[in-house]
């Protein structure tokens, strides 16, 4: 029981167990963090709003997104993935979520930002339901840890409405 | 040369019962690993509760060689979730993020579009010819946790199978020549 192989085996098993325990504790420490993020979105302009040849509506927007997500970062945070989704209901679909813009925040310093952009991904409906449609712009964030459990949350901003006619 | 002589002597002097005991111990280890794996499949509700990230399409969040823990529940699939899906013709599961969701009014049917964080365009290029959306049946699970670097063992064993054979051969030799 004292050969090199047995000692190496015991040492390796112990080391791996301790490593797994440390990863679990790092992940648990994230639960003690109570974040308080803030965000604000404005639709600066509806650039164009048309019905495509295949019958689906499409709209292009210019957005102003500002947010402070610094309280989401802990020592176990690798990055925060943030995206803005337009959410609305249509007669055919109970929920439509269309991501308009996303970004990756690598460090706490970058977590307070202000961005002026057109929608990165096309805002296309399944059908032609967008005229006069009221929608929410919800900022979602996904915290990706260095190890362990990932968690996500969102902030919904309501009260946006598309024009009644195409332009 | 003396060491080889010793090993050959030790193999010759093995008794039948000893060999049988060791074979059964090995069998026990393999079956308990299988029980743990199948148990994990039950608990997480997913066909493969742990996957290895194979490509760089989700960097810098997930790098090649990380492992992801999956969980599949009846909860509806929402935008932003990282899902693992199997396309009809491909065997290798893909891990990407959901960017568009269109969920029907009364049924549980849903149209999903995914995209890798590090890719320029969405996954329509990966889907089958003419397929624009994923359905719930394609989704194998949601990623809920991750561990970095641990998956490199699997990648090395898949891409250089010679290492797998060397490892199994060495383990077999160790089992036969050890007396305890």
> Does B101 reach chain A within 8 Å, measured CB to CB?
yes
The residue of B99, B113, B123 whose CB has the most chain A CBs within 10 angstroms, and thus the best one to mutate to test that interface, is B99
Domain count, chain B: 2
Check whether residue B145 and residue B158 sit in a common domain: no
Residues whose CB is less than 8 angstroms from the CB of residue B144 and which lie 6 or more positions away in sequence, other chains included? A149, A150, B69, B70, B71
| Residues B40 and B96 occupy one common structural domain | no
Q: Do A140 and B80 touch (CB under 8 A)?
A: yes
Optimal mutation site among A110, A123, A128, A150, interface B, most CBs of chain B within 10 A: A150
Here the CATH number for the domain that contains residue B70 is: 2.10.109.10
Instruction: Mark whether B56 and B132 lie in a shared domain.
Output: yes
Tracing tokens 């260095």 back to the chain, one arrives at A146
User: In terms of Cα–Cα distance, which of A162, A111, A166, A156 is closest to A136?
Assistant: A156
**Cβ A94–B104 below 8 Å, yes or no?**
yes
End-to-end CA distance of chain B: 24
What single-letter DSSP state applies at residue B54? -
Q: At a CB cut-off of 8 Å and minimum separation 6, what does A93 contact? A: A126, B102, B103, B104, B105
Six-digit token pair at B26?
């090995």
Report the DSSP beta bridge partners of residue A138.
Answer: A85, A156
* A74 touches B: beta carbon within 8 Å: no
What are A116-157's pLDDT values in tens digits? 999 999 999 988 888 888 999 999 999 988 888 888 999 999
Task: Let me know whether B131 and B54 are in one domain.
Answer: yes
Return d(Cα A70, Cα A141) in angstroms, integer: 12
Question: Is B102 in the same domain as B37?
Answer: no
B80: left (phi over 0), alpha (psi -120 to 50) or beta: left
Let me know whether B83 and B26 are in one domain: no
User: A59-90: b or e for each residue (b if 16 or more CB lie within 10 Å)?
Assistant: bebebebebebbebbbebbbbbbbbbbbbbbb
pLDDT of residue B33: 83
Please indicate, yes or no, whether residues B125 and B165 belong to a single structural domain of this protein. no
- Tell whether B78 and B105 lie within a shared domain: yes
Cα–Cα dist B77/B67, whole Å: 21
pLDDT of residue B97: 93
Beta carbons within 8 Å of A61's beta carbon, 6+ residues apart: A43, A44, A45, A46, A47, A100, A118, A119, A123
List, in order, residues 6 or more apart from B36 with CB less than 8 Å away.
none
The reply to whether B61 and B137 lie within a common domain is yes
pLDDT level of residue A59 (50, 70, 90 thresholds): very high
Which among A56, A132, A55, A135 has a CA at the least distance from the CA of A95?
A: A135
Q: Are residues B133 and B108 in the same domain?
A: yes
Residue B96: active-site member = yes
Judge whether residue B86 has pLDDT over 60.
yes
> What's the alpha-carbon Rg for chain B, to the nearest Å?
23
- Sign, CA torsion B123/B127/B131/B133: negative
Judge if B68 and B125 occupy the same domain: yes
Contacts of B144 in chain A (CB under 8 A): 149-150
C-alpha A99/C-alpha A108 separation (Å) is 23
CA distances from A3 to A17, A109, B9, B13 (A): 22, 52, 19, 21
Lowest mean pLDDT among A25-39, A55-69, A96-110: A25-39
**How far apart are the C-alpha atoms of B171 and B176, rounded to whole Å?**
9
pTM tops 0.90: no
Range of the domain at B162: 2-44+153-177
A19-35 confidence digits (pLDDT tens):
989 988 888 888 888 88
* Pair (B91, B138) in one structural domain: yes
Query: Which pLDDT tens digit goes with each residue over B95-133?
Result: 899 999 999 988 888 999 999 988 888 888 888 888 889
Quote the mean pLDDT of chain B: 83
Closest CA to A39 of A157, A158, A167, A152: A157
Contacts of A102 in chain B (CB under 8 A): 99, 117
């Amino acid at each position: 029981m004292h050969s090199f192989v047995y000692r190496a085996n015991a040492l390796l098993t112990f080391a791996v167990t301790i490593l797994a325990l440390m990863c679990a504790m790092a992940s648990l420490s994230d639960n003690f963090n109570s974040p308080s993020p803030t965000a604000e979105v404005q639709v600066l302009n509806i650039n164009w709003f048309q019905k495509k040849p295949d019958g689906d509506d499409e709209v292009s927007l210019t957005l102003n997104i500002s947010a402070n997500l610094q309280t989401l970062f802990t020592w176990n945070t690798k990055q925060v993935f943030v995206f803005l989704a337009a959410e609305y209901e249509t007669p055919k679909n109970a929920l439509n979520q269309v991501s308009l813009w996303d970004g990756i925040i690598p460090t706490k310093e970058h977590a307070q930002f202000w961005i002026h952009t057109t929608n990165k991904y096309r805002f296309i409906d399944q059908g032609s339901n967008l005229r006069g449609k009221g929608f929410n712009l919800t900022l979602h964030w996904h915290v990706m840890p260095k190890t362990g459990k990932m968690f996500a949350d969102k902030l919904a901003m309501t009260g946006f409405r598309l024009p009644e006619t195409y332009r | 040369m003396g060491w080889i002589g010793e090993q050959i002597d030790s193999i010759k002097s093995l008794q039948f019962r000893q060999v049988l005991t060791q074979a059964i111990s090995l069998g026990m280890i393999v079956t308990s690993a299988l029980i743990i794996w199948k148990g994990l499949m039950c608990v997480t509700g997913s066909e493969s509760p742990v996957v290895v990230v194979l490509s760089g399409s989700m960097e810098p969040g997930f790098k090649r060689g990380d492992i992801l823990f999956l969980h599949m529940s009846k909860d509806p699939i929402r935008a932003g979730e990282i899902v693992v899906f199997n396309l009809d013709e491909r065997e290798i599961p893909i891990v990407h993020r959901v960017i568009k969701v269109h969920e029907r009014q009364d049924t549980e049917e849903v149209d999903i579009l995914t995209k890798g964080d590090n890719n320029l365009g969405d996954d329509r290029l990966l889907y089958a010819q003419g397929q624009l959306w994923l359905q719930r049946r394609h989704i194998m699970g949601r990623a809920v946790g991750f561990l970095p670097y641990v998956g490199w063992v699997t990648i090395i064993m898949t891409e250089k199978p010679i290492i797998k054979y060397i490892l199994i051969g060495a383990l077999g030799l160790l089992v036969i020549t050890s007396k305890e």
